[in-house]
Amino acid sequence: MGLQQEFKTLFIEHEKCNGCRICELRCSFAHERLFSPELARIHVVKWELDAIDVPVACRQCVDAPCMAVCPTEAISRHPETNAIIVDEEKCIGCKMCVIACPFGAMQMHPVTNKAITCDLCGGDPQCAKYCPENAIHYMTPSEYVAYRRKEKTKKLVGKKEKRSPIPQAS
Helix (H) or strand (E) holding 76: strand 75-77
Q: Does 51 bind another protein (CB under 8 A)?
A: yes
Q: What is the DSSP string of 129-156?
A: HH-TT--EEEE-HHHHHHHHHHHHHHTT
Instruction: Supply the minimum distance, in Å, between the C-beta of residue 166 and another protein.
Output: 6
Within 10 A of 123 (CB to CB), how many other CB atoms are there? Answer: 13
Choice from 13, 14, 29, 76 touching another protein (CB under 8 A): 29
Query: What is the three-class DSSP state of 159?
Result: coil
Contact 30, 121 (CB under 8 A): yes
Residue 19 vs 93, nearer CB to another protein = 19
How many residues lie near another protein (CB under 8 A)? Answer: 34
Q: Does 56 bind another protein (CB under 8 A)?
A: no
Bin 42: left if φ > 0, else alpha if -120 < ψ < 50, else beta.
Answer: beta
x/- string (CB under 8 A) for another protein, residues 115-134?
A: -----------------xx-
Choice from 7, 13, 14, 20 touching another protein (CB under 8 A): 20
Instruction: Supply the minimum distance, in Å, between the C-beta of residue 47 and another protein.
Output: 10
Give the closest residue to 57 by CA, choosing from 73, 69, 41.
41
Instruction: Supply the minimum distance, in Å, between the C-beta of residue 159 and another protein.
Output: 16
Give the closest residue to 59 by CA, choosing from 103, 7, 22.
103
Q: Does 38 bind another protein (CB under 8 A)?
A: yes
Give the closest residue to 131 by CA, choosing from 8, 7, 60, 26.
26
Residue 49 vs 62, nearer CB to another protein = 49
Q: Does 135 bind another protein (CB under 8 A)?
A: no
- Residues engaged in binding another protein (CB under 8 A): 15, 18-22, 25-26, 28-29, 32-39, 45, 48-49, 51, 53, 110, 132-133, 163-170
